[in-house]
Amino acid sequence: MADENITYGSYLRLDELLDCQRPRTDAHDEMLFVIIHQVYELWFKQILHEAGLLQRRLAEGGSAGALRTARRITKILKTIVGQMDVLETMTPRQFATFRDELGTSSGFQSAQFRELEAVLGRRVFPASDLRDDARLRAAVRRPSLLDSLLRYLAVQGYAVPHAALERNVAEPWLPDPDLQKVLLEVYADENGPAAEVCEALVDIDEGVQEWRYRHVKMVERTIGAKLGTGGSAGADYLRSTLFAPAFPDLWEVRSQIEETVVHGA
């Protein structure tokens, strides 16, 4: 039986939630900065929650469920990219009114985003990150989203290379021509569920890259070429992460599809 004493506020624990915004200065714009970043962390939590379900559904070979979950993740990524529009209403001078109070804190310290990167396949992190973050250590030892896709394709009857299925998932993935041949077979049936699932993962990959790009431009608008808070490399570091796809084979195979179609014609 439902608890009749539960209210909107108590169910969402709004007293606690709304008490979490504690700016360190009287600067008007610091509240916006705090709320935007707290909301990012809430969305990262949801993305990780959905990614776990997506991996389970892929491993089970469930096309419809995997598609629904992947599309939800993409919608969330679109939402957090859109939040940049709000943050960019803050001018560099307005940010400067409270920036010194951030001390050594930096967005690069987001443990959840590091974990998301690990889910997407990143395996190389600073030793200090791995030492201090048990969740990240566990994430880099688990199968990545790409590994889950390989299992899905195998369940669907595609001849995924045995070496790919049995690889050490704690090692970084390197583009694999043999896997790309399998993906060519997948995309040959462009209306089939496997091709749709692959495209849904490309959407996620593109969404993460879009967020990185908007993050770069936001940092450049706010602090220019200066070091980021906490001594981070600011925009220079962010630029180095651009155009580094989580699923390189899904991008590489596109040029091969075109060549195959032309040759077949």
pLDDT tens for residues 29-80? 999 999 999 999 999 999 999 999 999 999 999 999 999 999 999 999 999 9
- Return the minimum-mean-pLDDT range out of 16-20, 82-86, 243-247: 243-247
User: Dihedral angle at the C-alpha atoms of 248, 251, 252, 254, nearest 10 degrees?
Assistant: 160
**DSSP letters of 80-138?**
HHHHHHHHTTS-HHHHHTTGGGGTT--GGG-HHHHHHHHHTT-----HHHHHH-HHHHH
Arithmetic mean of pLDDT, 98-110: 81
Residue 156 identity (one-letter amino acid): Q
* pLDDT for residue 25: 96
CB of 223 closer than 8 Å to CB of 102: no
Token code pair at residue 113: 């985003």
**Mean pLDDT estimate for the chain:** 90
How far apart are the C-alpha atoms of 216 and 237, rounded to whole Å?
A: 9
Name the pTM for this structure: 0.90
pLDDT tens figures, 137-185: 999 999 999 999 999 999 999 999 999 999 999 999 999 999 999 999 9
Q: What is the pLDDT of residue 265?
A: 46
Task: Report whether 197 contacts 182 (CB < 8 A).
Answer: no
Token output for 153: 């394709």
Among left, alpha and beta (phi > 0; psi -120 to 50; other), residue 231 is left
Cα 252 to Cα 258: distance, rounded to the nearest angstrom: 11
Q: Give the integer Cα–Cα distance in Å for 154 and 58.
A: 10
Please give the pLDDT value at position 260: 55
Cα angle vertex 240, ends 238, 242, to 5°? 75
> Which comes out higher in pLDDT, residue 231 or 245?
245
